[in-house]
Structure 1
Amino acid sequence: MVGMAADLPAAPDAGRPLDGITVVAIEQAVAAPLATRHLADLGARVIKVERVGRGDFARDYDHVVHGSGAHFVWLNRGKESLAVDLKTDEGREVVRRLVDRADVVVQNLAPGAAARLGFGAAELRAARPELVVADLSGYGSGGPMAQRKAYDMLVQAEAGLIAITGTPQTPVKTGIPTSDIAAGMYCVQAVLAALLRRWRTGVGAAVEISMFEATVEWMGYALYSGMHTGIQPARMGLSHSSIAPYDAYPTRDGQMLIGVQNDHGWRTLVTSVLELPDLAADPRFATNVERVRHRAECDAVVAAATSRWSTAELDARLAAAGIPAAQLKDVDDVVAHPQLRARDRWRTIGTEHARVEALLPPVTFADVEARMGDVPALGAHTRALLEESGVDADDYLRRGIAEQSR
């Protein structure tokens, strides 16, 4: 195989998948910026339209990344920032001229705001049918909740996610903005699908993505289980309603998460790892159905056994036996995680205050690396984009219609 590969001609440089695609993003917060950051990573030129003075309010959620906001650094690398006042005719005209040469428009302003500004999908595509326009919202363009504010926690609650997350005593939201992330990822999928169809047909698309509907989709088996049994899925903490043992178990110096998904795994766990071979045939535990039925007893015997070893010792024993398990990592542990370091997943990017480490996106192309661009200061590219739009940049900047970062 090595010899054959050496005889083949070198593959041409295919470039990044979205090289040559231009995206105008009238965006804020998380959902749309996440979508367009992934498009930028894939090679698209992303022009981020921000408000004069404040910009995307995610810039100021905190300033913990050397003066920049953690959300903003995560979501906005590789973009050009245009700070312009969309409440003015001149500001809207600048963006309209950029849209005239764009392939994609993404927006997640308040419900109806984009249309009132003249950037609704119907209006944009009436002028350019080949344009792909993606609208992200909390609850979609119709229905009784269309005008409701839709912060991530609120959407998680409406979608049922909070009701099944947490302990039996306490419902909790997820520790990350799950509804925003779900909507952003479906937006990426929709834009790529629309561009593929346009490549075949020449016709663009108007697509909408709802945070609520994206989160309900992610409810998955819990939704279908409750729908067909009439039983509200229980909050199980780290445990699992249908599998045992599946939880965190104590060690001498901490805990290990163990998930045994079949009866063969149970027999291996108790014989090769826990050194309790008599439990393999114990009728209370011989099948998963019985282990779930006797969950408290099963968890008790596993916990008593795991506490004999340190976390590192038990981790090694479980790995050697092929039992699914994991250590509970803190954020510092993840940053230094040997798996990420061994796979060289960190890169250095620029922000307006300092160089920082950023993760490569999880999709890896064999022939080209993601474009890990810098995180722009507010209005970092305003002058160049004004000039590209054919307006008098000095006049716009002097009158406060637009803003250029220092």
Structure 2
Amino acid sequence: MSSLPLDGVLVVAIEQAVAAPLATRSLADLGARVIKVERPPAGDLARGYDHLVHGTGAHFVWLNRGKESLAVDLKVPAGRDAVRRLIDRADVVVQNLAPGAAVRLGLDPETLRADRPELVVGSITGYGAGGSMRDRKAYDMLIQAEAGLMSLTGTPETPVKTGIPASDIASGVHLAQGVLAALVRRLRTGEGATIEVSMLEATVEWVSHALYAQLATGAQPPRMSTGHASIAPYDAYPTRDGELLIGVQSENGWTALCRVLGLEHLGPDPRFATNVARVQHRDACDALVAGRTRRWLTADLDAALARAGVPAAQVRRMDHVVAHPQLRERDRWRTVRTPHASVPALLPPVTFADAEAAMGDVPALGSHTVDLLLEAGLDGSAVDGLVATGAALQAASPRPDRRSRSSRPS
């Protein structure tokens, strides 16, 4: 087994919630050592979103495997100095502090890179470092609204936010991509980078197909629920025991769908001869398709369409996803430890043929505090003083092993 791509890369992450932790978890999965700086006594906000996973927040378990937790108060000079010493040896720093906080703490990119131009510093902001909205608080729901995502999601009558934190995810994915690109460039030039990802801009990037439609037509793209403004048939269609999503994007696909549903007589009908024509006659097209799909059981229709090469999918509940046969057949499940129990975890979607993702443990708050403060150069009495005053926190329970590899669940 080959080494992971980021083995030997040290990342210091001053982060919380979703966006930045997703970026650094991606780096940890790829082999980076990630030191997560958390504020005592509560730590990352996501720890307390709920306690669903054996006492730990589901978001936190999702986003923080493979990291070391350093619980230290950055407002205390000794705590801030310890973090700066770790940064002095780091390759990457990632932060999503509140607007202005990094500057006040001396952890802004300009300060950090003044003596170490080779350092890669990545920041996630809500609205960007400039502009009149730069100091506004930015949560995922608010950004989805500002970026127009909610105007595209929902029914024609009601806009809704997505069921996942899409703006946070967009930001974290783009920041991880930027950090990787900066590390590649540093190999060539020796120069680091200052990277910023605005949640607003990351989300607008994700809705840009609709943005270009708006620019071209001057009209707001419609909310289509499960449908598609530019393709038909493309929607959820009723079956005898539920519904099935069907999406036809080619004339071959339309012909195959008609053959499965017994609608071959529609072949010469000019209303359905092309996708453009089907979109223009969407109601009639959908009614004809639905009239035939409702005769089938969902699983039988899904299998028949798969054999015919027609794109279709079942609308699965989360319990069905947990048991999804494709994930099982591809051996995608592993087991990782959380502060209170071992839990199943999916391998990340980026798969290397010669190396498996690190999939390390989810740390308890302050699991590695004492070790990391000593590593930063503080002596034992200084560490004891920080812990005694509450400026640092060491987990009471046994901490997970720093670099343990995941195992397959039995």
Q: Does the alignment reach a TM-score above 0.5?
A: yes
Residue 240 of structure 2 is aligned to residue 252 of structure 1: yes
TM-score by length of 2: 0.95
Q: Is the 8 A contact 2:244 2:313 kept in 1?
A: yes
Q: Could you tell me how far 1:286 is from its partner in structure 2?
A: 1.5
Q: Which amino acid aligns with 1:308?
A: R
1:18-61 deviation line (CA, Å, top 9, x unaligned): 00000000000000000000000000000000001000010000
Task: Pick from 384, 397, 403 the counterpart of residue 394 of structure 1.
Answer: 384
Residue 356 of structure 2 is aligned to residue 366 of structure 1: no
Which residue of the partner structure matches residue 209 of structure 1?
197
Which residue of the partner structure matches residue 29 of structure 1?
17
Which residue of the partner structure matches residue 404 of structure 2?
none
Residue 225 of structure 2 is aligned to residue 237 of structure 1: yes
Which residue of the partner structure matches residue 8 of structure 1?
none
1:225-257 deviation line (CA, Å, top 9, x unaligned): 111110110001111111111101111101110
Give runs of aligned pairs for residues 2-401 of structure 1, distance below 5 A. 14-271=2-259, 273-391=260-378, 392=380, 393-401=383-391
Q: Could you tell me how far 1:220 is from its partner in structure 2?
A: 2.1
Q: Which amino acid aligns with 1:165?
A: T
Q: Could you tell me how far 1:280 is from its partner in structure 2?
A: 1.7
Q: Could you tell me how far 1:394 is from its partner in structure 2?
A: 2.0
Q: Is the 8 A contact 1:266 1:280 kept in 2?
A: no
| Amino-acid identity (%) | 68
Q: Could you tell me how far 1:283 is from its partner in structure 2?
A: 1.9
1:355-386 deviation line (CA, Å, top 9, x unaligned): 00111000000101000100000000001001
Q: Could you tell me how far 1:399 is from its partner in structure 2?
A: 2.4
Between 1:281-290 and 1:235-244, the stretch displaced more is 281-290
Q: Distance in 1 between matches of 2:53 and 2:2?
A: 35
Q: Distance in 2 between matches of 1:127 and 1:54?
A: 33
Q: Distance in 1 between matches of 2:275 and 2:112?
A: 56
1:279-338 deviation line (CA, Å, top 9, x unaligned): 122222121111111111111110010111100110111001000000000001111100
Q: Is the 8 A contact 1:106 1:135 kept in 2?
A: yes
TM-score by length of 1: 0.96
Report SS of the residue matched to 1:284. helix
Q: Distance in 1 between matches of 2:266 and 2:109?
A: 63
Q: Distance in 1 between matches of 2:27 and 2:185?
A: 17
Q: Could you tell me how far 1:17 is from its partner in structure 2?
A: 0.3
Q: Distance in 2 between matches of 1:166 and 1:266?
A: 26
Report SS of the residue matched to 1:301. helix
Query: Structure 2 stretches of 5 or more lacking a match?
Result: 397-410
Question: How many residues are paired up?
Answer: 393
Q: Distance in 2 between matches of 1:174 and 1:399?
A: 43
Report SS of the residue matched to 2:61. helix
Q: Distance in 1 between matches of 2:72 and 2:303?
A: 56
Q: Could you tell me how far 1:396 is from its partner in structure 2?
A: 2.0
Q: Distance in 2 between matches of 1:360 and 1:82?
A: 25
Which residue of the partner structure matches residue 394 of structure 2?
404
Q: Could you tell me how far 1:14 is from its partner in structure 2?
A: 3.6
Q: Distance in 1 between matches of 2:243 and 2:340?
A: 39
Report SS of the residue matched to 1:190. helix
Q: Is the 8 A contact 1:84 1:91 kept in 2?
A: yes
> What is the RMSD computed on CA atoms of the aligned residues?
0.8
Q: Is the 8 A contact 2:41 2:390 kept in 1?
A: no
Q: Which amino acid aligns with 1:160?
A: G
Query: Structure 1 stretches of 5 or more lacking a match?
Result: 1-12
Q: Which amino acid aligns with 1:60?
A: G
Q: Is the 8 A contact 2:65 2:359 kept in 1?
A: yes
Q: Could you tell me how far 1:197 is from its partner in structure 2?
A: 0.9
Q: Which amino acid aligns with 1:326?
A: A
Report SS of the residue matched to 2:271. coil
Q: Which amino acid aligns with 2:324?
A: H
